[in-house]
Amino acid sequence: MIEYRFGDESDEESPEYDFASGGPIDSDLMWMRRAVNQARLAAEADEVPVGALIVRGGQVLGQAHNGREQLKDPTAHAEMIAITQAASAIEDWRLEGCTLYVTLEPCAMCAGAILLARIPRVVFGASDPKGGAVHSLYQLLTDPRQNHRCEVVPGVLGPQCGQLLTQFFAAKRAMGKK
């Protein structure tokens, strides 16, 4: 069974974000490294290596990695699990003032959940040309027709995040697995 955990007292504090700045800031790199660590845990569990965490005011409210295989749940994407954890942590479905860090560009399902949770800022690593719904195939989080839109910061630790996925799928192909 996958064990997901919330941040603990040892989590470093980060400065407040300047949402108008539009680009990665030092704390984005720090939090994205934590998301990469979650992705590594996914790979160790033979899951697609995607990791996510949700941060508000320097505190991790939720962190997770993909769990579709272990949970036998097609919705168990890292983002979905982290969103559920964060909402539970603050006892509110509105995740205002939060930033979602995720190692792979969110899919349509996760982008929809991000919008519904009112997460104002999303930072992702690798683009997903086949399934990305934030930047690559669709721009759901910035579509002006939506009631809610997000600031999107793409490509933070993108090469490192992409390399984890490339290595994972190369190993799967070498073993003859899906």
Got the DSSP string for 25-92? -HHHHHHHHHHHHHHHHHHHTTS---EEEEEETTEEEEEEE--HHHHT-TT--HHHHHHHHHHHHHT-
- Find the distance separating the first CA and the last CA of the chain, reported in whole Å: 22
What pLDDT is recorded for position 178?
60
Residue 39 and residue 165: Cα distance in Å, rounded? 9
Residue 7 has pLDDT above 80, yes or no: no
What pLDDT is recorded for position 169?
94
Residue 177 has pLDDT above 80, yes or no: no
Summarised one tens digit per residue, pLDDT across range 98-144 is 999 999 999 999 999 999 999 999 999 999 999 999 999 999 999 99
Full strand arrangement of the beta sheet holding 59-65? 59-65, 51-56, 99-104, 121-126, 151-153
CA dist 18 to 25, 94, 101, Å? 9, 20, 16
What pLDDT is recorded for position 2?
30
Over residues 19-41, the mean pLDDT reads: 83
Q: Which residues are catalytic?
A: 79
Find the helix or strand (DSSP H, E) in which 7 lies: none
What pLDDT is recorded for position 89?
98
The SS3 assignment for 114 reads helix
- Strand ranges in 76-148 using DSSP code E only, listed in sequence order: 99-104, 121-126
